[in-house]
Structure 1
């Protein structure tokens, strides 16, 4: 009997020893679960923080791009003009003052009227000014965008040349645009409109001989080679402008225009541009 009790005690001890690890396993699992839960929350927090940071960054980029055109339009641009020496001034007085003929649409400005969407411009780009004109008894609004640096360009070249506007647009529209660009400064000495153009094969061409009889003193800047096809030796081609706020084409022309005013015949220099005219077609 005593041996039977001993064996039973050993059996109970063995069974107790076998059942002891179960609570320890459960505690281990609970500890693992307790460590995994904070990790999940931490990852969720990091993802949320990253998405918020991305949204803030995109908002800053949007605001920056939206105002970039205004910043460029109002930034200070200067063309360094060296004071003329007495010999250079004497040389300039010996040659005739040149006439600079300027086109309007896609050269100095770009415009659209009611019902027409400018697909090249962003929707949030506001026009520089709005014109309200009456065409065939119908009121029409024109939303006009000025080419970058056009105001500074006109201010500089008006001191060098006699400025003339020659556009294929209707007078009621072209005159209003000229008034806005001129701002009562009297920069444009003469203006020519659609009625002064010639129609050849369905396109308007400009007769520079009506502007000045001496073509050796006439320069035209136009984005359309067809407009000056009869006078390629008097032309400076320029790329059409629609909406690019980083355009510097007008500024790039200032060194050339500064030099041309000193020559006797502008055609002796500009005839080299004949090859370039083909690239602008």
Structure 2
């Protein structure tokens, strides 16, 4: 089965050095808009190329169609999943993922929101959270909004109404179109054993932990609303 490749309106521009720069900037701004929060931040994490990178034996459409390297690099921190139809996939974890999830669950309500099908995402998330105590919720392709062949993520399905303390972490800029001021973009993960993105991300998140409304701060850091404005007009109408 051949897949149609979705052409994204913009390419990810975030590098590990850029994220490190935002860590420094976030520290300088840490005194503004602070309160003792009434609820924890809802931390919404993408899965593919954000937390993990997977490779199927055959061409399948369990995942959102996008560029991925044809071959996985040799990698030590990986596991295998088997679909109900017998299709197998090797899954590589982003460096530091287990520790990141364990620490994040102590401070945030952690959700995973993937454009992949539940039949594919569930076994991966079960492997990442075998005790079921890390993720407050899981959202799959069925929870996305499809516009012009793209799967968009509406954060209202996670915490409807008030999005002042909701953060989406994703490597795909399309994912931010619905609520760009809630986003933290990260570089895509393709099996680089030296990747330190999650370390930098942890520091940015820590600087936001007691912020009353994360959106002004995230807009200052990443300006996604400005970068995606034209694409919002074209895709969302």
- Scaled by the length of structure 2, the TM-score of the pair is 0.72
Partner of 2:201: 253
Q: Is 1:133 matched up with 2:83?
A: yes
How far apart are the structure 2 equivalents of 1:118 and 1:223?
A: 15
Is 2:81–2:91's contact at 8 Å kept on the other side of the alignment? yes
For each residue in 1:90-118, what CA deviation from the matched residue of structure 2 results, as whole angstroms up to 9, or x when unmatched?
Answer: x8644431100001000000001014695
Do the aligned partners of residues 277 and 148 (structure 1) sit closer, same or farther apart at CA in structure 2, a change above 3 Å counting? farther
Q: Is 1:274 matched up with 2:192?
A: no
User: 5+ unaligned residues in a row in structure 2: which ranges?
Assistant: 1-33, 60-67, 229-237
Is 1:96–1:264's contact at 8 Å kept on the other side of the alignment? no
Aligned length: 187
- Scaled by the length of structure 1, the TM-score of the pair is 0.61
Do the aligned partners of residues 172 and 199 (structure 1) sit closer, same or farther apart at CA in structure 2, a change above 3 Å counting? same
User: 5+ unaligned residues in a row in structure 1: which ranges?
Assistant: 1-90
Q: Is 1:201 matched up with 2:144?
A: no
Structure number with higher helix proportion: 1
Q: Is 1:151 matched up with 2:98?
A: yes
Aligned match of 1:160 in 85, 93, 107?
Answer: 107
Q: How large is the RMSD of aligned CA atoms in angstroms?
A: 2.5
How far apart are the structure 1 equivalents of 2:225 and 2:200?
A: 15
For each residue in 1:111-165, what CA deviation from the matched residue of structure 2 results, as whole angstroms up to 9, or x when unmatched?
Answer: 010146954643x44661100112xxx3200110000001111111111100011
Do the aligned partners of residues 231 and 139 (structure 1) sit closer, same or farther apart at CA in structure 2, a change above 3 Å counting? same
Indicate the structure whose relative CO is greater, using CA pairs within 8 Å and at least 6 residues apart: 2
What SS does structure 2 have at the residue aligned with 1:131? strand
